[in-house]
């Protein structure tokens, strides 16, 4: 009986322990997994890493690759057009002749009631001279293939710049958030100090409220920044092919102090490197090839051909001596559509007009490139000047803030003056961080306009 009672008491305890273990272990594992997953979602990324990820995962570049493949395929088809053409056929015919007797006067001709025939042909034709139309077709498709490759390079530059732009925008938001956090910490100290002064009867309640209002305004700015950060972070995750929950962090970047060269150097580089200019050069050559291709319509065509026939009049397709013949023929043919001498003039004129349009477009593009480079050059130099000015303003605002802080603690300056001085310093700090990021982005914008972004 004693043994039975002990067993009875142990059963609930064992059951409780089993349930506890069954619940606790999965909970621990789940917590660990969630911790690992949360950690995996945070990532500090450099600009070079972001560009590489974006280019590797770009759907646009994959589409560009498909367009290149299509252009290469069209070029290969043009090459195939220069090869000989061949054709083979083999067929069977059976003829039934119900009326098979011809009365020719003193004599008559009787045909069989039916007849069988097997007919096979094999022919090969090679164009020896076709007015060079095949040659011009190959040249044209080869040039268009090069244009397609340049389109892909252009897409690559555009994607790279989008990544850089998003990267710097995220950096600007993150730096602004740091300034907000620093200023919140500073204003909290001021609120405590002013509250202490108020308790001592040194300042009024209104002085305390001014600092609290200033803190609320900084918090509102922080909310706006966090919203922008989430939007930019999400878009950048998609652009880089990362999980959409990845929280990106950016290390400090010091790229606002690059030296700038003469404007003419950047313009000369752009005119010789920009993809749009190279494409228009290629399209000019395509237009010139098209003119030659149209002019070739007035030339004759010379072709060589060879044919072989198998004719078997027996019902059995297997050849037997005396039942089949195999004529073979070879020949040259010269043809000339001389009406093209007067029908082709307007087509040539149209092709020349198209070439002139390409040349005009190229000149327009060259002007646009010069203006774009100049604008980006001036923007970058202005950004550098702005940084120097803001660095000076921060020093001035910082000195002013220290003076008014000392005066306020000595009860010489008002709370309004103290809050205004801190606000000026806070704004100068934000402006400097944003100016540094703007200068970095302006530099890459200038490099993109010269066509050297990925070179």
Give me the CATH topology for the region 44-83+130-299+339-449: Outer membrane efflux proteins (OEP) (1.20.1600)
Mean per-residue pLDDT, 86-102: 85
Residue 370 phi/psi, 5-degree rounding, is: -60, -45
Mean per-residue pLDDT, 149-155: 85
Cβ within 8 Å of residue 107, ≥6 positions away: none
Exposure of 405 by Cβ count < 10 A (0-12 exposed, 13-18 middle, 19+ buried)?
A: middle
Q: What is the pTM of this model?
A: 0.71
Helix 275-295 to helix 345-409 angle (10° resolution) is 170
d(C-alpha 300, C-alpha 50), whole Å: 59
Higher pLDDT, 444 or 205: 444
Mean pLDDT of the chain, nearest integer: 82
Is the pLDDT at 198 greater than 50, yes or no?
yes
pLDDT in tens, 2-33: 444 444 444 444 454 445 445 544 444 444 44
Is the pLDDT at 155 greater than 90, yes or no?
no
d(C-alpha 445, C-alpha 377), whole Å: 9
d(C-alpha 258, C-alpha 384), whole Å: 9
Q: What ranges make up the beta strands (E) of 225-365?
A: 247-249, 301-312, 324-325, 328-335
pLDDT in tens, 37-50: 444 468 888 888 88
pLDDT in tens, 383-425: 999 988 988 888 888 888 888 888 877 777 766 677 778 778 8
- Of the candidate ranges 212-221, 274-283, 352-361, the one whose mean pLDDT is the lowest: 212-221
Mean per-residue pLDDT, 212-239: 89
Nearest to 120 by CA among 101, 148, 93, 158: 93
The pLDDT of residue 255 is: 62
**In the 8-state DSSP scheme, what is residue 296?**
G
Query: Which SS3 state, helix, strand or coil, does residue 439 take?
Result: helix
Strand bridging mode 247-249 / 114-129: unpaired
The pLDDT of residue 415 is: 67
């Amino acid at each position: 009986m004693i043994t039975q009672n002990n067993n009875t008491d142990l059963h609930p305890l064992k059951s409780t322990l089993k349930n506890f273990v069954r619940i606790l272990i999965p909970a621990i594992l789940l917590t660990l997994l969630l911790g690992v997953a949360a950690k995996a979602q945070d990532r500090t990324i450099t600009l070079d890493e972001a560009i590489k990820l974006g280019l590797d995962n770009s759907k646009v570049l994959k589409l560009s690759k498909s367009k290149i493949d299509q252009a290469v395929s069209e070029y290969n088809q043009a090459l195939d057009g220069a090869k000989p053409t061949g054709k083979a056929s083999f067929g069977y015919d059976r003829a039934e002749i119900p009326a098979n007797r011809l009365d020719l006067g003193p004599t008559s001709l009787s045909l069989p009631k039916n007849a069988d025939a097997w007919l096979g042909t094999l022919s090969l034709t090679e164009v020896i001279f076709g007015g060079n139309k095949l040659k011009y077709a190959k040249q044209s498709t080869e040039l268009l293939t090069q244009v397609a490759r340049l389109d892909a390079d252009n897409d690559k530059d555009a994607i790279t710049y989008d990544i850089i732009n998003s990267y710097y925008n995220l950096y600007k938001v993150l730096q602004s958030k740091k300034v907000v956090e620093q200023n919140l910490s500073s204003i909290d100290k001021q609120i405590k100090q002013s509250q202490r002064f108020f308790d001592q009867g040194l300042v009024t309640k209104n002085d305390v409220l001014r600092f609290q209002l200033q803190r609320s305004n900084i918090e509102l700015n922080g909310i706006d920044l966090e919203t922008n950060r989430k939007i930019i972070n999400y878009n950048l995750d998609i652009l880089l092919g990362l999980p959409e929950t990845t929280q990106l962090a950016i290390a400090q970047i010091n790229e606002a102090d690059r030296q700038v060269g003469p404007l003419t150097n950047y313009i000369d580089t752009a005119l010789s490197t920009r993809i749009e200019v190279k494409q228009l050069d290629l399209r000019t050559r395509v237009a010139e090839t098209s003119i030659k291709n149209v002019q070739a319509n007035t030339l004759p065509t010379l072709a060589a051909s060879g044919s072989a026939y198998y004719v078997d009049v027996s019902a059995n397709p297997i050849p037997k001596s005396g039942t089949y013949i195999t004529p073979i023929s070879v020949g040259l043919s010269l043809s000339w559509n001389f009406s093209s001498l007067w029908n082709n003039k307007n087509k040539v004129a149209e092709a020349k007009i198209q070439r002139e349009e390409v040349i005009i477009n190229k000149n327009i593009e060259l002007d646009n490139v010069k203006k774009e480079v100049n604008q980006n050059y001036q923007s970058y130099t202005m950004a550098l000047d702005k940084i120097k000015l803001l660095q000076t303003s921060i020093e001035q605002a910082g000195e002013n803030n220290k003076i008014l802080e000392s005066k306020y603690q000595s009860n010489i300056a008002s709370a309004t003056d103290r809050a205004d001085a801190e606000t000026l310093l806070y704004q100068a700090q934000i402006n400097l961080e944003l100016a540094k990021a703007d200068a970095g982005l302006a530099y890459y914008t200038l490099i993109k306009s010269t066509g050297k972004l990925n070179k």
